């Protein structure tokens, strides 16, 4: 009888194990994080809901965790397992040199992350680059259409730049080396944030560093100055994930799920998602769910 009981118990354990595999792997919780601004948050939430629909367990505590320096450290330490990363800017953050070629940036980022045991999944067609933006009346009065126009009038403008700009080669470094612009007294605000847009709207500043998909740009008819020296990288979004997580779960199902979702996010979609959260103040989870349902990822 004891032998039969052991066999029955073994069969039960096997059935549970097979069930776990069928619903996403070992049952390991996937800790998802993101940078703090709304665009990154909504993409992270889309990834979270898509994974849950495939049976994975998700912890969202890291969504909106903070600036890249914070989420970078969190991913490397294992505080989070996954985050959406802007591949060009991410490459620079890891000490690489970015380009205007998305495939090159992805490979460069992977080369930097491989020693850290982090994998870069497929990137979105969507891109969101750093953009320097002025009000239309400013562009008209100073004849501004491209970044090269700024050098001669830079001292006539009040600047708002990202908080990490002084040490970011894509910001202060690019402004100085490519355009001869040096703004040591600029107002420093969170990148792609409400306060940054409000400062431009309320005329506290005349030029602001925003995200190119920022909904405030369209809403207010602002002018994005052309990066005519091509200093800003191709910044498609890709999930980057710790290899130790991939070893614990159904890796194929996990990567197939996220790659399929990323493939559907083009620039127009990304801008609309950002707009719905930041301007329309819709609930983050509802925006993500609505988009996933419309694209057949959840029922």
The domain ranges of the chain are: 9-127+236-294, 130-224
Q: What is the pLDDT of residue 209?
A: 94
Q: Which residues pair with 160 in a beta bridge?
A: 187, 208
- 0.75 exceeded by pTM: yes
Tens-place pLDDT, residues 43-70? 999 999 999 999 999 999 999 999 899 9
Q: What is the pLDDT of residue 17?
A: 39
> Is 9-127+236-294 assigned to CATH 3.40.190.10?
yes
Q: What is the pLDDT of residue 18?
A: 38
User: What fold is seen in the domain 130-224?
Assistant: D-Maltodextrin-Binding Protein; domain 2 (3.40.190)
| 130-224 shares the fold of 9-127+236-294 | yes
Residue spans of the chain under pLDDT 50? 1-25
């Amino acid at each position: 009888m004891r032998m039969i009981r052991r066999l029955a118990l073994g069969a039960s354990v096997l059935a549970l194990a097979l069930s776990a595999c069928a619903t996403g792997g070992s049952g390991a919780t996937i800790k998802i994080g993101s940078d703090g601004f709304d665009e990154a948050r909504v993409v992270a939430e889309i990834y979270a809901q898509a994974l849950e629909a495939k049976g994975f367990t998700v912890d969202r505590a890291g969504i909106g965790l903070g600036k890249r320096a914070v989420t970078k450290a969190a991913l490397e330490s294992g505080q989070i397992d996954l985050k959406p990363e802007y591949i060009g800017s991410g490459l620079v953050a890891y000490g690489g040199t970015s380009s205007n070629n998305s495939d090159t940036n992805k490979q460069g980022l992977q080369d930097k992350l491989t020693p850290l045991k982090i994998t870069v999944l497929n990137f979105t067609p969507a891109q969101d680059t750093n953009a320097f933006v002025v009000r239309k009346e400013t562009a008209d009065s100073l004849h501004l259409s491209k970044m090269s126009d700024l050098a001669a009038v830079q001292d006539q403008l009040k600047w708002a730049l990202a908080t990490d700009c002084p040490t970011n080669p894509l910001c202060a470094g690019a402004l100085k080396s490519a355009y001869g612009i040096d703004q040591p007294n600029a107002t420093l605000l969170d990148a792609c944030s409400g306060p940054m847009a409000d400062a431009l709207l309320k005329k506290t500043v005349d030029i602001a560093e925003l995200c190119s998909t920022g909904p405030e740009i369209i809403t207010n008819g602002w002018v994005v100055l052309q990066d005519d020296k091509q200093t800003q990288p191709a910044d498609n979004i890709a999930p980057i994930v710790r290899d130790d997580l991939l070893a614990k779960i159904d890796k194929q199902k996990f990567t197939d799920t996220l790659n399929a979702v990323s493939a559907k996010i083009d620039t127009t979609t990304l801008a609309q998602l950002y707009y719905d959260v930041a301007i329309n103040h819709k609930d983050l989870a509802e925006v993500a769910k609505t988009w996933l349902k419309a694209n057949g990822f959840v029922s």
